Amino acid sequence: MKHQIDGHTKLLGVIGDPIEHTLSPVIHNTLNEILGRNCVYVPFHVKETGLRSAVLGAFDLNVFGMNVTVPHKNAVMDVLQEVDEVAKAIGAVNTLVRSENGYKGYNTDMEGLQRALHSDGISLKNRTVVLLGAGGAAKAVAYMCIQEQAKAVYILNRTLEKAKAIAASMNEWFHCNVMQAMTLEEAGSLPQEPWIVFQCTSLGLPPHTDAVVIDDGMFYQNVEIGVDLIYNPAETRFMHLVKEAGGRAYNGLKMLLYQGIIAYELWNEVSVTEQQAETVYDRLYETLHGTGDNLVLIGFMGCGKTTIGRELERQYGYAFLDTDAYIERRLGKSISRVFEEDGESYFRELETAVLQEMIRTASHCVIATGGGMPMRRENIRLLRELGHVCYLTVSEQGVWERLKDSHDRPLLECEDPRARIRDLLNEREPVYRQAAHVIVQTENRKPEEIAEIIYQNRTGCESNESISSERTKY
C-alpha cells in the first residue's frame, strides 16, 4: 500500500558525503511500502563542517531516524545523546534512533553481516577466519568474528599499523588473544587449514573491477568460504578466484540489506520477516543490475507461453526463445528424457545456467520459460534481470482441457494427472505472482489480444506496483 505525503508523514533519512549513490532509500522505502507505513526515507548531502548542525537540526525537525554513512560514522558519535556499547567498541555509528532528548547511535553493519551469514547457513564458531583490509568496515567484521566465537582471526592489511590497532582493541574489548595482525605479504605463513575469508578492502570497486588484494592462486586453495563486502559488481575478482579454487563465495549485498533492515526494526519496533527481506533484496538487486529489454513469459504448463510468445514475435518483432527448446537443443534430447535419465534437480540447474547465459546474450527477445522455472529462488531474480516478467494465468480446468491428451509433460505422467495439476498450481501460483511484473489473465482471450496487453504494458516494470503482492493485473 502506498501513502500520499500528508500531515502525518514521518521522515527518515541518511547523511553522508557523497550521498548520491546510496541504496538505502531503496531498502527503507520498499519496507515502508510493504508494511504500509506513512513514512519517507530521503538522502541528505551533509559536509563535515555541517555535521553537528545537521544532526541537531534533524532532531528539531522531528526526523525520527537516520542512517549515517562515510565519512561521518565516527565523528557523529560526538553529537549524540548516547552511543550503544557495540558501536562504541567498533568506533562507528551508522544508525541514529530518536530518544527523548537526542539520538542514540547504533552500529547495524556488524549485526547485518551476522544475519547475512546466518541466512546462508555460515557459522564462524571454532573456525579460522582471515580478514583482508583494516578500514572502517573491517572493524565491524572483526567484532562479529570474535562474538561469533571464531577460533582465530588474522587481519591482513597493506598498512600494518591499522591492522595492529584493530587487533589490539578487539583483544582488549573481549579480554582474549584471538586476533593477530599481519601484512598482506605474510599470507603464506597462515595456518594451512580451511579458512573463512572476509574481503574488506575497497579493491574491486568500479571502475577497477579486475583489482584484487591477493592475486596468488595458492592463497585461494585454503579458502572454503569467501565473503566480499563489495556488492557491485555482483561477482568480484576475489569471488571468482574463490570459486575457481573450489570454494563458496558471497558478495556484500545481504550485509547491506540486513544492516538496513535492523535499522528499520530499531526505528519502527517491528520485526521484518524473511519473506519481506527477500522482496527488499530483489528490489535492491534490480536497482543495481537493471531489467533487460526482453519480455519473459512465465506460468503453468498449458497457459499459452509458446503461442503468445510467437504472437509477440509476429506482431512486434521480438525474437522468440524457449528455455525448454534451448535445453533440448543443447543436450540433444527431450526434456522428458532429461527428467528420466538425469533427474529433476539436474534439469533445474540447467534452467539457471540458461537464464544466466540469456542475461548476457538476449536482447529484444520474448522468452517462454519452463513452468517450474521460478520455483528456484535464484531464478526469480534472474528472470526479472532478464526482462519484463509477465505471468500468464490459467485455471485448473483450462490446463486440463489443453493438456489432457498430451504425452510430453513428464510431471503429469502419474496415476491422477488432474490432482497433480491442482497440487502443482496451488504450490506455484504464489511464486508466479511474486516473480511477475504484470499478471495477465489468458482464458477467453485471443492470443493477439493478450500479446497487445503485454506489449502495451511492457515498460511498467519499474513501477512500484511490481514489488508487493499487488501486481499490475490485466
Residues that bind ligand NAP (CB under 6 A): 109, 133-138, 157-159, 162, 200-203, 205, 213, 229-231, 252, 255-256, 259
Q: In which order are the strands placed within the sheet that holds 438-441?
A: 319-322, 365-368, 294-298, 387-393, 438-441, 472-473
Q: Which is nearer to ligand NAP, 198 or 391 (CB)?
A: 198
Q: What is the DSSP string of 93-133?
A: --EEEE-SSSEEEE-HHHHHHHHHHHHTT---TT-EEEEE-
Residue 344 CB, nearest approach to ligand NAP (Å): 35
Radius of gyration (C-alpha) of the chain in whole angstroms: 25
Give least dist CB 248 to ligand NAP, A. 17
Residue 47 a catalytic site member: no
- Residue 252 or 372: the one with the smaller Cβ distance to ligand NAP is 252
Q: How far is the CB of 148 from ligand NAP (least distance, A)?
A: 17
Q: Which is nearer to ligand NAP, 282 or 311 (CB)?
A: 282
Q: Please say whether the dihedral angle defined by the alpha carbons of residues 208, 214, 217 and 220, taken in this order, is positive or negative.
A: negative
Q: Which residue is closest to ligand NAP by CB?
A: 135
- Do 181 and 160 form a contact (C-beta atoms < 8 A)? yes
By beta-carbon proximity to ligand NAP, the closer residue of 106 and 231 is 231
Q: Which three cell numbers stand for residue 374?
A: 521460478
Given the complex with ligand NAP, which of 86 and 205 has the nearer CB atom? 205
Amino acid identity at 95:
T
Sequence-separated contacts (24+) of 244-251 with Cβ below 8 Å: 244/217, 244/220, 245/217, 245/220, 245/221, 247/220, 247/223, 248/224, 249/225, 250/116, 250/120, 250/225, 250/226, 251/227
Of 166 and 367, nearer to ligand NAP (C-beta) is: 166
182 in Cβ contact with 163 (< 8 Å): yes
Distance of alpha carbon 405 from the chain centroid: 42
Residue 402 CB, shortest distance to ligand NAP, in Å, is 47
Q: How far is the CB of 69 from ligand NAP (least distance, A)?
A: 8
- 344 Cβ partners below 8 Å, 6+ apart? none
The Cα 222–Cα 278 span in angstroms is 31
For 422, the 3-state DSSP assignment is helix
Q: Which of 73, 139, 254, 305 is catalytic?
A: 73
Q: How far is the CB of 76 from ligand NAP (least distance, A)?
A: 14
DSSP-based three-state secondary structure for 364? coil
**Nearest CA among 103, 19, 11 for reference residue 62:** 11
Closest separation in Å from C-beta 13 to ligand NAP: 18
CB of 258 to ligand NAP, least distance (A): 8
Q: Contact 415/351 with Cβ under 8 angstroms? A: no
DSSP H/E element including 250: strand 248-250
Identify each DSSP E strand in 107-236 by its residue range.
128-132, 152-157, 179-183, 195-199, 223-228
In the bound state with ligand NAP, the residue whose beta carbon lies nearer, of 135 and 460, is: 135
Cell of 174: 573481549
Nearer to ligand NAP by Cβ, of 257 and 362: the residue is 257
CB-based contacts of 317, cutoff 8 Å, min separation 6: 364
Active site residues: 73
